[in-house]
């Protein structure tokens, strides 16, 4: 996506409750997939947006959260929310590219990535982020996947352009294992998480069109919504909890 289009896209999402499908309950459910033995003190939330998952993680874990996003207004909103909730001392925001793993630090107990891994390539994310975990640390990631052998053709055509790396659940699980993770558990996000996400987009998208006129990026968002509805029986966002099998973080991408 060109820089101008990305800027327009970010502007739309500055005013949405979440920047991707999900919910408070789904974040909590994913957190419950972690092993009881995992002591969570340091968390890295990658592609945090305005903090839809960050706030929940801070409340659920009591850990310190390093929240990373490339768009400063998202982080400003997150800091304001954290301050209102008395969580400012446990959330540090970092404006950075989550693909630049070397700048993010190491030794994290938990890496969290709700709907963000696809932006740098799911398999690439698995490899680049693993060295950031301490030995035995965990990664929780959500990703759009096919879950039928023959998806809706119109949905397939759309995602072939917009998400060409879309795969099925079994493929993603096998990729995680090959990248050095033990898959601990998974679940499919409920359809309501997707419905709520698109409902939250409607008003900001109308406002953006009123301000700037029709743009290709806005049309793509509308097509995505229609394609996702058509694909409702063929695609789903899955959440996985994975534990790193590495004993030493010897290479950072």
pLDDT in tens, 148-167: 777 778 778 877 877 888 89
In a domain, 113, yes or no: yes
Q: Are strands 91-95 and 133-146 parallel, antiparallel or unpaired?
A: unpaired
Q: Cα(222)–Cα(19) distance, rounded to whole angstroms?
A: 15
Q: Which domain holds residue 172?
A: 19-150+164-194+236-243
Q: What is the mean pLDDT of the chain?
A: 89
Distances (CA, A) of 103 to 132, 141, 252: 10, 20, 9
Q: Cα(98)–Cα(75) distance, rounded to whole angstroms?
A: 14
Decide if 226 contacts 198 (C-beta within 8 A).
Answer: no
Angle ∠(167,168,169) on CA atoms, nearest 5: 125
Q: Cα(130)–Cα(249) distance, rounded to whole angstroms?
A: 8
- Lowest pLDDT segment from 50-54, 119-123, 173-177, 236-240: 236-240
pLDDT digits 0-9 by tens, 62-85: 999 999 999 999 999 999 999 999
Residue 86 pLDDT > 60: yes
Count of other CB atoms within 10 angstroms of residue 28: 14
In a domain, 212, yes or no: no
Tell me, rounded to whole angstroms, the distance of Cα 154 from its chain centroid.
25
Residue 249 pLDDT > 60: no
**CATH number, residue 187:** 3.40.50.150
Residue 60 pLDDT > 70: yes
Q: Which of 107, 103, 104, 98 is nearest to 141 (CA)?
A: 98
* Percent of residues, the chain, with pLDDT higher than 90: 70
CA atoms within 13 A on the CB side of 24: 6
Pair of tokens at residue 66: 């390093």
pLDDT digits 0-9 by tens, 219-230: 989 888 776 665
In a domain, 94, yes or no: yes
Q: What is the pLDDT of residue 250?
A: 36
Q: What is the pLDDT of residue 223?
A: 83
In a domain, 9, yes or no: no
In a domain, 224, yes or no: no
What is the count of structural domains for the chain? 1
Question: Which neighbouring-strand residues pair with 42?
Answer: 64
252 pLDDT band, cuts 50/70/90, is very low
Q: What is the pLDDT of residue 251?
A: 45
Q: What is the pLDDT of residue 235?
A: 57
In a domain, 209, yes or no: no
Helices 54-61 & 72-84, crossing angle to 10 degrees?
A: 40
> Could you tell me the pTM of the whole model?
0.90
pLDDT digits 0-9 by tens, 191-242: 899 889 999 999 999 999 999 999 999 998 988 877 666 555 455 678 889 9
CA atoms within 13 A on the CB side of 120: 19
Q: What is the pLDDT of residue 234?
A: 53
Q: What is the pLDDT of residue 66?
A: 97
Q: Which of 132, 143, 127 is nearest to 181 (CA)?
A: 127
Q: What is the pLDDT of residue 71?
A: 96
In a domain, 65, yes or no: yes
In a domain, 121, yes or no: yes
């Amino acid at each position: 996506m060109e820089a101008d289009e990305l800027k327009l896209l970010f502007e739309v999402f500055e005013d949405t409750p979440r920047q991707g499908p999900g919910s408070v309950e789904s974040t909590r459910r994913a957190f419950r997939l972690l092993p009881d033995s995992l002591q969570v003190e340091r968390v890295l939330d990658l592609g945090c947006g305005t903090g839809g998952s960050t706030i929940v993680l801070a409340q659920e874990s009591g850990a310190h959260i390093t929240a990373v996003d490339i768009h400063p207004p998202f982080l400003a909103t997150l800091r304001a929310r954290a301050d209102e909730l008395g969580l400012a001392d446990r959330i540090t925001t970092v404006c950075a590219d989550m693909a630049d793993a070397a700048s993010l630090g190491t030794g994290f107990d938990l890496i969290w990535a709700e709907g963000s891994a696809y932006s740098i390539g799911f398999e690439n994310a698995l490899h680049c982020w693993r060295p950031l975990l301490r030995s035995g640390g965990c990664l929780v990631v959500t990703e759009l996947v096919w879950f039928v052998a023959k998806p809706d053709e119109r949905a397939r055509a759309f995602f072939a352009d917009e998400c060409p790396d879309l795969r099925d659940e079994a493929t993603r699980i096998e990729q995680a294992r090959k990248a050095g993770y033990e898959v601990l558990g998974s679940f499919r996000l409920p359809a309501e998480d997707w419905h709520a996400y698109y409902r939250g987009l409607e008003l900001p998208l109308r406002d953006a069109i009123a301000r700037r006129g029709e743009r290709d990026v806005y049309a793509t968002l509308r097509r995505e919504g229609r394609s996702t509805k058509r694909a409702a029986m063929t695609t789903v966002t899955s959440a996985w909890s994975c534990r790193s099998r590495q004993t030493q973080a010897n290479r950072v991408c």
